[in-house]
Every structure is written in structure tokens, then in C-alpha cells.
């Protein structure tokens, strides 16, 4: 019997080619596009134009296409935590939360309810034996970092058809198929914040009152600047702090929302020898020992040692991870797991 697969089609080139590849491989393919954000949006994967693009690609491929309205779930699972993280002085990861709560939770539930065997997306990642999560073939487009929370049980029901391809190969395949998404640029920004809206303006519209704060030097506590909202400042930030000239660049080393204080210091003050993760999500189960740690979607991995406590000891002094930012551990190209930094 032919497996049936529900393909999440964002309107972009990756998910369009994913659907085409599955169709060529003989799967019974149906496309679905998620309507996630009811507010103003002109970028990312939440705009009305993206829904239209996905529908037209489905028509080109000759497959059925549905639109699921998950706006309420998206607000509760992604937007509200994003606002709450800023209120607490943390660095949010909205794309990770969208994958966790929407694409591989709510959408997987719909996949089951509609009787499909599998769920597929256009992510650049690969799935190994036993539900291992591995890096995508294209280092520059690898998205395994934002999928680290997926368990082996989930991954065995998922397909990433473009994970073995480079982005150039994906675009060439789309062009060869005559897909309208072949030349569509990748989304880059937070999809629910329009390009004409500032982050501070968006948060204010969602009920967050920004707190003016002091910028002080580490050690001396001398005030050297002011910020309009401490909730908008993140560890490692250098610009936008209103600092007077100094002998060397200064970076944010800590943010204390309660006292409305941002502490800055030289780059060496950012260097740490370990990172603590508050709650690990494991792909195939808890692990310890040698790992490589990545702290941003396309960051350079750093060698480390994962202890039973969940702390990662780093092989060399490394720039501090902003609290709330995801830390993902790898062994080679295999994702071990990850979670938010303390």
C-alpha cells in the first residue's frame, strides 16, 4: 500500500520541492498551508501571499491542498511566549517554539486525525536509523538546530525530502519543474513582526510596557549610558546602548530587568568555560560525554563535555550564551539534544 503523506507547504521553494520529490517517489501527497498570524505581516512565512503561493504550487503539481487556521494556537504557543521572554529579560527563539508547538505538535495531530501515514516539511535536515536527527547536507542551510526538540518517536513519522540536497540543487530542481517558487527568497526575520514595525512597537502593542534602564560598567558600577527598554537588550549586544566612546568596545554581559540595569564590559568579560541548560530535550535519550555545542542557528560548534547534571564544560573559553537562547549538542552531524541556556 502506498504511504500517504501530508506536506507542510509554506509557499517557499524548499517545501514546494519536498512535495514534488515525494510525488515522484510514489507517495500519495497532499499539501497543507498553515495560516498562523492574523496580524500585520509582510515577511517570513506568515503572509497571505505565502498561502497563495503554496496553493498555486499544489495546483501545478496536481495535488490536493488545504489551509489550516492555527492562529489561536500560534498566538498561545509562539507569540505570547515571545513577549513573556522579553518581559523576563530572556532571548526568545520563536522559530524553535513554532516547530515545537505548531509544526510538530498541532500539525502532527491533524496528520493523525486525517488518517495520513506521514508528515513532511521542507527543512534542511536528515533523519537517520532509529529516528536520529542529523544535519542537512548543505552546511549553510542546515536547520537541525531549530529541530533539536524532536524525539526519535516523532522523527520516525516525519520526512525531510530536501535534507540531502544543497539549496542550489533545490532551486535547480524547482526551476526544472517550472515551479513558481523557484526564485523566491528565503525568509529571514521574525514572521509575525512586519518590516515597518519595530520590535519595541510590537511588544508595546502586545501589552508590554518597556522599562527605561541604566547601563553600567562591570566592576565599578559607573553609569555610562541609558536604554529605552531593558527588555529589548540581550547579552552580547554591542550597539544601541548609547555609550560614550571608550578605549575598547563594550558588550552587554548581563541584563537585570528587576533593577532596570544593563551591565557592560570588554569582550573578555563575555568569555565562559561552561554553559548550563535549564531543561534538556533529548532526541534518542539522555547522553553524557564529548559533544560539540552550537548556540545559534548557524553558529560555529565548540567542543565540550556534557556532564550528568546537564552542564556543558567547554574546551576553550567561549562567548556567553544569552539566557533563553537554545544550546544544541551534537556528536558529529547527529543532534544529541538541546535546551535553553540559564
The position carrying cell 532596570 is 260
Q: Hey, how many other C-beta atoms are within 10 angstroms of the C-beta on 206?
A: 16
50: helix, strand or coil: helix
The position carrying cell 495535488 is 63
Under the phi-then-psi rule, with left for phi > 0, alpha for psi from -120 to 50, and beta for the rest, what region is 169?
A: alpha
Q: Is residue 112 a contact partner of residue 154, using CB atoms and an 8 Å limit?
A: no
Say how far apart CA 309 and CA 298 lie, in whole Å: 26
Going by their DSSP bridges, the two strands 118-120 and 4-8 should be labelled as: parallel
Q: Annotated catalytic, 98?
A: yes
Q: Annotated catalytic, 95?
A: no
Under 8 Å CB-to-CB from 319, ≥6 apart: which residues?
236, 267, 270, 271, 272
- Catalytic residue among 45, 46, 95, 98, which? 98
Backbone CA torsion sign across 65, 110, 97, 170: negative
Under 8 Å CB-to-CB from 30, ≥6 apart: which residues?
4, 5, 6, 7, 63, 64, 65, 66, 116
Strands (E), 169-222: 213-217
- Look up residue 320 and give its DSSP letter: P
- Catalytic residue among 45, 46, 95, 191, which? 191
Say how far apart CA 297 and CA 299 lie, in whole Å: 6
Q: Mind giving me the DSSP string for 210-245? A: ---EEEEETTT--EEEEES-GGG--TT--SSS-PPP
Going by their DSSP bridges, the two strands 302-306 and 311-319 should be labelled as: antiparallel
Say how far apart CA 19 and CA 59 lie, in whole Å: 12
Q: Is residue 87 a contact partner of residue 52, using CB atoms and an 8 Å limit?
A: no
Q: Hey, how many other C-beta atoms are within 10 angstroms of the C-beta on 176?
A: 11
Instruction: Show which residues are catalytic.
Output: 98, 191
Amino acid at each position: 500500500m502506498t504511504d500517504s503523506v501530508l506536506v507542510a507547504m509554506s509557499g517557499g521553494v524548499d517545501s514546494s520541492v519536498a512535495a514534488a520529490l515525494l510525488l515522484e517517489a510514489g507517495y500519495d501527497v497532499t499539501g497543507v498551508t498553515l495560516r498562523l498570524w492574523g496580524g500585520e505581516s509582510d515577511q517570513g512565512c506568515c503572509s497571505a501571499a505565502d498561502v497563495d503561493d503554496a496553493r498555486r504550487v499544489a495546483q501545478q503539481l496536481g495535488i490536493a491542498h488545504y489551509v489550516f487556521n492555527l492562529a489561536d494556537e500560534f498566538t498561545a504557543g509562539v507569540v505570547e511566549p515571545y513577549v513573556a521572554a522579553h518581559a523576563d529579560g530572556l532571548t526568545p527563539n520563536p522559530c524553535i517554539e513554532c516547530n515545537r508547538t505548531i509544526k510538530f505538535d498541532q500539525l502532527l495531530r491533524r496528520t493523525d486525525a486525517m488518517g495520513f501515514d506521514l508528515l513532511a516539511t521542507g527543512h534542511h535536515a536528515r533523519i537517520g536509523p532509529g529516528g536520529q536527527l542529523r544535519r542537512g547536507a548543505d552546511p549553510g542551510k542546515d536547520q537541525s538546530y531549530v529541530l533539536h526538540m524532536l524525539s526519535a518517536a516523532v522523527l520516525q513519522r516525519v520526512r525531510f525530502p530536501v535534507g540531502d540536497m544543497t539549496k542550489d540543487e533545490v532551486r535547480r530542481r524547482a526551476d526544472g519543474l517550472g515551479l513558481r517558487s523557484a526564485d523566491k527568497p528565503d525568509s529571514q526575520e521574525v514572521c509575525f513582526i512586519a518590516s515597518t514595525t519595530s520590535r519595541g512597537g510590537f511588544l508595546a502593542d502586545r501589552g508590554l510596557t518597556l522599562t527605561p534602564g541604566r547601563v553600567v560598567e562591570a566592576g565599578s558600577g559607573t553609569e555610562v549610558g541609558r536604554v529605552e527598554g531593558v527588555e529589548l537588550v540581550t547579552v552580547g549586544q554591542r550597539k544601541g546602548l548609547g555609550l560614550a566612546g571608550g578605549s575598547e568596545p563594550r558588550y552587554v554581559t548581563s541584563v537585570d530587568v528587576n533593577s532596570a540595569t544593563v551591565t557592560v564590559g570588554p569582550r573578555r568579560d563575555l568569555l565562559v568555560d561552561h554553559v548550563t541548560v535549564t531543561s534538556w530535550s533529548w532526541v534518542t535519550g539522555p547522553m553524557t560525554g564529548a559533544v560539540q555545542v552550537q548556540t545559534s542557528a548557524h553558529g560555529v560548534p565548540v567542543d565540550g563535555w556534557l556532564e550528568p547534571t546537564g552542564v556543558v564544560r567547554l574546551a576553550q573559553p567561549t562567548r556567553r550564551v544569552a539566557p533563553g537562547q537554545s544550546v544544541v549538542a551534537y556528536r558529529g552531524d547527529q543532534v544529541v539534544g538541546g535546551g535553553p541556556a540559564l
